[in-house]
Amino acid sequence: QRKKLQELYQLGPQLGSGGFGTVFSGTRLSDGSPVAIKRVVRESILQWGELPDGTCVPMEIVLLEKVGSGCHNIIQLLDWFELPQSFMLVMEHPEPSQDLYHFLLEEEFLGEEMAR
């Protein structure tokens, strides 16, 4: 039997929200590692996909599962949970970290070397 979200992770403060969900900081209880926990409300999901085992999930989960650990430049999906009204995606949260939008606000431009 699969454990519940609250048995494995502690939810922290909200980091941000937008059209694709709300993201919270969190902690993996087994080792204290920082994680990001994204809540996506079921009714806001526009595209659905199917996992290899036939489970119907948001396309975001399908794509993140496909990428897997193949690319270190992409935030990894560590776990996900289906709740009655939403899906919770648990992703790695490297510290320090910053999204591209806020990085560009600070740096104003991104040089070719930095982009690589």
38 CB neighbour count, 10 Å cutoff: 23
Q: What is the dihedral of CA 61, 63, 66, 69, to 10 degrees?
A: -80
Per DSSP, 32 falls in state -
Q: State whether residue 48 is helix, strand or coil.
A: strand
First-to-last alpha carbon distance for the chain, in angstroms, is 43
Residue 38 annotated as binding site: yes
Question: To the nearest 5 percent, what fractions of the chain are helix, strand and coil?
Answer: 25, 40, 35
Binding-site residues from annotation: 38
Binding-site residues from annotation for ATP: 38
